Amino acid sequence: QVQLVESGGGLVQAGGSLRLSCAASGRAFSRYVMGWFRQAPGKDREFVSAITWSDANTYYADSVKGRFTISRDNAKNTVYLQMNSLKPEDTAVYYCGAGSNGAVTTITFYDYWGQGTQVTVSS
């Protein structure tokens, strides 16, 4: 079992920055790929970014490339999502997930999810 707790969401003006954190605990979580997804009202949950614990390979959705950066701190068992140049269309609940089988950009890859953290970007 893996437990995930997100934090760092909030309200920010367009062009601003936020850093989300996802603290992981439980058995063998280091073998999982960690991902960030987001879900806006009335829309499906969509892939944002992912990172492997072992070699820090990173993956990004085209919509956030160049603006968002994913990283991890092995000592703190925490994954971060640094979000810069935020846009109103980035407004969503952001979820952290942990998974191990399949394609990292798909929801079905992830076995565990956090409770989500709200990000609101005002224009």
Give the model confidence (pLDDT) of 74-95 as tens digits: 888 899 999 999 999 999 999 9
- DSSP assignments along the chain, one per residue: -EEEEEE--EEEETT--EEEEEEEEETTGGGSEEEEEEE-TTS--EEEEEEETTT--EEE-TTTTTTEEEEEETTTTEEEEEE-S--GGG-EEEEEEEE-SS-TTSGGGEEEE---EEEEEE-
> Rounded to an integer, what distance in angstroms lies between the CA atom of residue 40 and that of residue 120?
10
Give the model confidence (pLDDT) of 26-56 as tens digits: 877 778 899 999 999 999 999 999 998 777 7
